[in-house]
Structure 1
Amino acid sequence: MESGNMTLVDRKLKILQAIIDDFITTAQPVGSRTIAKKYNLGISSATIRNEMSDLEELGYLVQPHTSAGRIPSDLGYRLYVDVLMKHYELAAKQKLIIKQLLLDEINKIEDLVQQASKVLSHITNLTSLSLSPQFRKSKLKNIKLVKVDSDKVLLILVSNTGIVKNVLLRIKEASQDVLDRISNLLQHQLKGFSIDELSDDVILNLKNEIVEYGNTIESLVLTLKNTLKEIDDREIYLDGLAHIFNLPEYTDINKAKQFISTIEKKDLLYEALKDNYEEDITIKIGRENNLEEIKDCSLITATYKLNGKVIGKIGVIGPTRMNYARIIPVMEYITKILTDILNKNY
């Protein structure tokens, strides 16, 4: 099986492509007569039937129990995506519409990412999801320490992408004047570092630099080290959940409800999204997904960047029958515009 691709001659590949194209469009299992009639491959229905049997044996097609026709397997879709799929270029008009929708007076980075997710769902007619910009992958722009109680201090962190995070610390016996001086030193030392870059060396230098504040800085440094790495809210934005009701795979209302309840588990989605963070486009088909709950779905994600560093993701989730060839160029263009806007404004 490991040399599956090698054994597929052109004729088999053409038949597999025709079956997948047909199934993506109709959602109906495909028979040899359909292929012979619709796809003008210049071969008989009997030959197509034999080739389809071979493709099934090789694991690229499966036959649903209730049908004489066949449908693509996860392996069939993988071969299609990697080898057979046509690569479409978006029309200039589509590009213009996407650009206008994303440039529509959006001030906050989170709003921009949500708008991108909305546009993606609208164009693909699928449920879209976005992972909000990751604070720990952004650069620190501003740090403030504010005394709120006799033993409580609020640490306010502002990233260069405009994200604000607040952490409540327990620090005793520190006047606001001392906190201001520490804030200024921290600001000077850490500005321009991302949370990911706060190594032990950076922290050690910081302690040596501001040794005069003893216990206060010790407590603060520990918090910076331990808390900031975990500071990101697992904030995932969803759009277009209702689209699934238009898909034949979800005409069964119980199946639709199950999909919605899975998709609304944000921690679950975060687990599915957090992998492959450096890849521009990731396509996980059916059982390639690590999560049992979405093993009959495909998840396509694309990353967006600030100053060359990936800071977040957007994606679509839906049946494995989704139109990969049309969806991927849309995602590539949306994330390109998103990245362009971020780099221009932040």
Structure 2
Amino acid sequence: MLSHRQLLILQAIVDDYVQSAEPIGSRSISKREDISFSPATIRNEMADLEEMGYLLKPHSSSGRVPSNDGYRLYVDHLLRPAPLQQHEILDMEKFFTRRISEVEAVMKKTAAVLSELTSYVSVVLGPEMEHTKLKQLQMLPLTGRQAIAILVTDSGHVEHRTFDIPKQMDSRELEKVVNILNEQLVDTPIGQWEEQLITETSRLLYQHVRHYEDMFGVLRDAFKTEKSDQVFYGGMMNLMMQPEFQDIDRIRMVFDWLDRSENVHTLLSRSQEGLNVRIGRENNIEAFANVSMITATYSIDGNTVGTLGVIGPTRMEYERVIRLMRQFATGLSTSLTKKYRQDR
């Protein structure tokens, strides 16, 4: 159990180290207005905090830096409310008062704005595709008996699926299929396509399309949906501006890991609901040993559909980033819920 004095000193060290990126000495702490202890007293307490694992001594100098355990204690118990600056508030208000037309564009913009405001890397896991709705469907013949289905969703996502046209079906029959599918599936969530095909859509295809049985099997395969979310990045170069990542090998490890979107997808999709902070080795990723990640989930009508993430050094401005993440998650949830209610 840390004493009140030790907590004050640890808090001061973290605050100063976040700003300076240089080891903090007892003399600099004693000059702070909120610290009334002598340099000798602070030096003794710093030695004790180091022994307990909350501080590290990076080299022979007398300065100390927070350890992962020190950051964890700071985040869990010592954070103070950090008001956003006026320009940050205005940027977010401007962003979230815009009418959302395409969700995919909003995800890209969210990643860009979040990285700009934090000066770290931002990662946004878009809504699960099964929650998005079909906006338009086209089918275009290719060479031979192959055709391509072009699906455009209300998120702005465009997907291409190739399929084989049954031998007995000509272009006029294919056009009938497209018309029926557009009439029946537009505004239907992707996750409900298969059910819709089996029920009302199959009845209409049976009534109006010859060789319906052959085409129905093709359609079920072409429209089979899997859970797939999109990952959007912002400010990838921001990490290179941080002193901790001047080591080329260290930054390459982080970039190589982030370059595989399936890694990020898995990491974000496993995030617990609400806001979470993972510091250094808590990420259980070798490349993230010196990286902190703050995530916040967002929702539509109260149902969690995606995750926002900010990635930076363990020497992160936790207070400000946490406040930004909470505001962004709330604003994005409100905007997306409004859009989906309007589109119903």
For the superposition of Structure 1 and Structure 2, which TM-score range results when normalised by the shorter chain?
Answer: 0.7 to 0.9
Q: Alpha-carbon deviation of 1:53?
A: 3.5
Q: Call closer, same or farther: CA 1:186–1:56 in 2, change over 3 Å.
A: farther
Task: Tell me if the contact between 2:150 and 2:159 (Cα under 8 Å) persists in the aligned partners.
Answer: yes
Structure-1 residue corresponding to 2:241: 246
Assess if the C-alpha contact under 8 Å between 1:19 and 1:35 holds in 2: yes
Per the alignment, residue 3 of structure 1 pairs with: none
- Counterparts of 2:75 and 2:171 in 1: how far apart (Å)? 59
Equivalent of 2:269 in 271, 274, 288 = 274
Return the alpha-carbon distance in structure 2 between the equivalents of residues 36 and 158 of structure 1: 62
2:223 is equivalent to residue 229 of structure 1: no
Correspondence for 2:58: 64
Corresponding residue for 2:292?
Answer: 298
Per the TM alignment, residue 286 of structure 1 is displaced from its structure 2 partner at its CA by 0.8
Amino acid at match of 1:229: E
Q: 1:102 touches 1:112 (CA, 8 Å); kept in 2?
A: no
Q: Which deviations, in whole Å up to 9, do the C-alpha atoms of 1:160-209 show, x marking residues without a partner?
A: 3332322112242334454455556656765665445668x777657975
Instruction: Give secondary structure in 1 for the equivalent of 2:63.
Output: coil
- Check if 1:218 corresponds to 2:217: yes
Distance of aligned partners of 1:289 and 1:339 in 2 relative to their CA distance in 1, 3 Å threshold: same
State how far apart, in whole Å, the 1-side matches of 2:173 and 2:303 are.
Answer: 35
Shift of 1:28: 1.7
Alpha-carbon offset, residue 296 of structure 1: 1.0
- The equivalent of 1:333 in structure 2 is 327
Give the equivalent residue in structure 1 for 2:278.
284
Cα distance between partner residues in 1 of 2:49 and 2:171: 73
Shift of 1:68: 2.6
CA distance in 2, matches of 1:279, 1:37: 41
Q: CA deviation at 1:23?
A: 1.3
Query: Corresponding residue for 1:4?
Result: none
Q: How do residues 1-346 of structure 1 correspond to structure 2 at under 5 angstroms? A: 7-38=1-32, 40-91=34-85, 93-101=87-95, 108-173=102-167, 174-183=169-178, 194-196=189-191, 205=199, 209=203, 212=206, 213-225=212-224, 228-229=225-226, 232=229, 234-239=230-235, 241=237, 243-252=238-247, 255-256=250-251, 258-276=253-271, 279-346=273-340
CA deviation after TM superposition for structure 1 residue 342, in Å:
3.4
CA distance in 2, matches of 1:100, 1:161: 20
Distance, in Å, in 2 between the alignment partners of 1:342 and 1:230 is 19
Give 1:325 deviation, angstroms: 0.3
Deviation at 1:298, TM superposition (A): 1.0
Give the partner amino acid of 1:83: H
Look up the equivalent residue of 1:282 and give its one-letter code: N
Classify 1:203/1:289 alpha carbon distance in 2 versus 1 (closer, same or farther; 3 Å): farther
Instruction: Please tell me the root mean square deviation across aligned C-alpha atoms, in Å.
Output: 3.5
Question: Following TM superposition, by how much is the alpha carbon of 1:319 offset from its aligned partner in structure 2, in angstroms?
Answer: 0.6
What SS does the corresponding residue of 1:38 show, helix, strand or coil? coil
Worse-matched range after superposition: 265-274 or 188-197: 188-197
- Alpha-carbon distance in 2 for matches of 1:16, 1:231: 43
Displacement of 1:95 in angstroms is: 1.4
Q: How many residues align?
A: 334
Q: Distance in 2 between matches of 1:82 and 1:186?
A: 53
- Cα distance, 1:251–1:188 mapped onto 2, change above 3 Å: same
Partners in 2 of 1:301 and 1:192 — Cα distance? 31
> When the two structures are superposed, what TM-score results if normalisation uses the length of structure 1?
0.79
Q: Is the 1:285–1:297 Cα contact (8 Å) retained in structure 2?
A: yes
Cα gap change, 1:13/1:191 in structure 2, threshold over 3 Å: closer, same or farther?
farther
How many angstroms apart in 1 are the aligned matches of 2:57 and 2:113? 36
